[in-house]
Amino acid sequence: MSSGITTPAQLERLGDHLKKLRLNKSGERLEALLQRAATDDLPYADFLEQVLGEEVAAKRSQNITMRTAMARLPFVKPLETFDFSYQPSIDKKQVLTLASCHFIEHGDNVIILGPPGVGKSHLAVSLGLKAIENGYRVLFTSAASLITALTKAHAEGKLEDKLKFYTTPRLLIVDEIGYLPIERMGANLFFQLISRRFERGPMILTSNQSFGAWGDVFGDRVIATAILDRLLHHAVTLNIRGNSYRLKEKLKAGLVRSHDENTSSQQGGEI
Ligand code: ADP
Ligand code: MG
């Protein structure tokens, strides 16, 4: 490409154009890219591809950062940080299939069950991050704060807005169902949300309680059955049976016995 001479006035005009078009990355990089194009004698199309490629990559990464903040994740741990070898009861292939996010298009819920510390929240967050990378809007909440928020909104006559808030994101993650018992009103409101989302989009739910115990969690067998009926209509369940990752180091040091040696119960119990 003929390098020509870029005058300071022309650089300034180019900078203004890029600013008006909100092509910020190109604005920052223009001088360096022009310099390189001149030195390497780049063809026109290669130069243009380089400028636009950098801009698109920068916009994508900004977008991911923004949607990650909007998702209110409690921590950011990509799936790549999950050690599958520590948790053999998890079908790694199944999780990698979920990571491709087809379940979102199909409207399948993902329910992750298992005792404390086995990586339920970690997997839920990691799948949430994959959904964000794939362009979906995601929202994370604990079951307790979801129900507190719905109950408060109901009392203030703002339930409709709150239900909208939780149904708008394409993927809703509800963590820690079963850690705290849920009042009748809370169970009813949760059921309303599940019914709304049934048409709208899928959820990832985690629980330390088996489905059989959800009657106690929701304090009402009929509501629990109605909730499960909708959730399980299209759902993938991951049942994690293993040792708490938090105890990994202690187990290694032989300070505590493993879950398998300890008990034959597979789920719901404290370790
Ligand atoms: P749960 O939600 O099932 O109680 P967490 O997902 O909170 O468990 O896991 C507890 C801690 O251990 C977290 O810091 C999590 O990142 C980590 N962790 C759990 N399982 C794994 C794993 N298989 N590989 C890497 N880190 C793990
Ligand atoms: Mg958790």
| Per-residue pLDDT reduced to its tens digit, 150-170 | 999 999 999 999 999 999 999
Report how far residue 24's alpha carbon sits from residue 183's, in angstroms, rounded to the nearest whole number.
51
- The contacts of residue 151 (CB under 8 Å, 6+ apart) are 183, 185, 186, 189
Going from the Cα of 41 to the center of ligand 2, the distance in angstroms, rounded, reads: 55
Q: Name the residue among 146, 114, 115, 141 with its Cα closest to residue 128.
A: 141
In contact, 256 and 247? CB cutoff 8 Å: yes
Nearest CA to ligand 1 atom 25: 82
Q: Which atom of ligand 1 is nearest to the CA of 83?
A: 24
Number of domains in the chain: 2
Structural domain span for residue 60: 8-70
Tell me, yes or no, whether 103 and 133 share the same domain.
yes
Ligand 1: residue whose CA is nearest its atom 20 = 119
Q: Say yes or no: 57 and 177 in one domain.
A: no
Q: Quick check: 256 pLDDT over 70?
A: no
Question: HSE on the CB side for 179, CA within 13 Å?
Answer: 17
- pTM listed for this prediction: 0.86
Are residues 26 and 123 part of one domain?
no
- For residues 206 and 184, give the distance between their C-alpha atoms in angstroms, rounded to a whole number: 20
Residue 245 Cβ inside 6 Å of ligand 1? The answer reads: yes
Q: Determine if ligand 1 sits within 6 Å of the CB of residue 165.
A: no
CATH of the domain at 209: 3.40.50.300
Q: Is residue 263 part of a domain?
A: no
**233 pLDDT more than 60:** yes
Angle between helices 120-133 and 44-70 in degrees, nearest 10: 140
The finding on whether 116 has its CB within 6 A of some atom of ligand 1 is: yes
94 and 12, same structural domain?
no
Range 129-135 average pLDDT: 97
